[in-house]
Amino acid sequence: MSLADDLKKILPESCQIESSFGEVNVITPADQLLVVMESCKEHSDLQFDILIDLCGVDYLNYGLSEWKTTSTTSSGYSRATSNEPQTSKWPLPRIAVVYHLLSTTLNQRLRVKVFASPKIPEVPTICDIYSHANWYEREAFDLFGIVFVNHPDLRRILTDYGFKGFPFRKDFPVSGFKEIRYDHDQERCVYEDVNIEPRVTVPKVIRDDNRYVGDQENE
């Protein structure tokens, strides 16, 4: 019997279970997350003993293309990109947390996804179930601003001391807001606003590729 069938029996009914690219996905409501994780770890047919990965995803610009062809100009590659703000096409809450689980005893993998509440993204912590989720949750908090409720030590982990903002969100520019340099007059490091012009080398293009039409219909 396949893993997806097992999951349908074991997990709460509010979970969506689907398979794509040979991988099993579970989408669970946030209030069922702890129940789902608990059964994934403890149930004898699942036994997912290791949390391989935990990460945030920001779906703000999902499916939006930067490509807008106009007449040629002399301003380089950026001519074909539109910087006009676009409205999000994503129908679900913007921020998601994705968990990758591995069972070394039954040799199987699972992906669990939970969408955080829209205003302040909040998700319950799974540190009590998988203790090594600690740093992964700190990372997701640091980069996406996801608040893991009841986390024992929710501090920033990867960014600089005193960093402001959530850099991996799609509305945070790649060049950031602040830059640091050593100032010879003051004999210390100083922070300043960045003076880099945002630049697009290759625009993001989405094409309706006929080769993949069949794939999407099957999903």
Q: How far is CA 27 from the centre of its chain?
A: 14
Q: How far is the CB of 104 from other proteins (least distance, A)?
A: 5
Interaction of residue 17 with other proteins, rule CB under 8 A = no
| Options 3, 36, 134, 145; binder of other proteins; rule CB under 8 A | 134
**Alpha helical stretches, state H, 112-179:** 133-144
Binding segment for other proteins among 2-10, 26-34, 159-167, 183-191 (CB under 8 A)?
Answer: 159-167
Binding segment for other proteins among 7-15, 49-57, 116-124, 181-189 (CB under 8 A)?
Answer: 49-57
Q: How far is the CB of 98 from other proteins (least distance, A)?
A: 7
- Count of residues in contact with other proteins, rule CB under 8 A: 51
Between the two ends of the chain, the Cα-to-Cα distance in Å is: 20
- Are 40 and 110 in contact by the 8 Å Cβ rule? The answer is yes
Distances (CA, A) of 86 to 77, 82, 144, 177: 20, 9, 21, 22
| Options 29, 63, 118, 152; binder of other proteins; rule CB under 8 A | 63
Residue 140 neighbours by CB under 8 Å, 6+ apart: 54, 55, 56, 97, 146, 148
Nearest to 40 by CA among 50, 48, 31: 48
Interaction of residue 78 with other proteins, rule CB under 8 A = no
Binding site for other proteins (CB under 8 A): 20-23, 25, 49-53, 55, 57-58, 61-63, 65, 98, 100, 102, 104, 107, 109, 111, 130-132, 134-136, 156-160, 167-168, 174, 200-202, 204-207, 209, 211-212, 215-216, 219
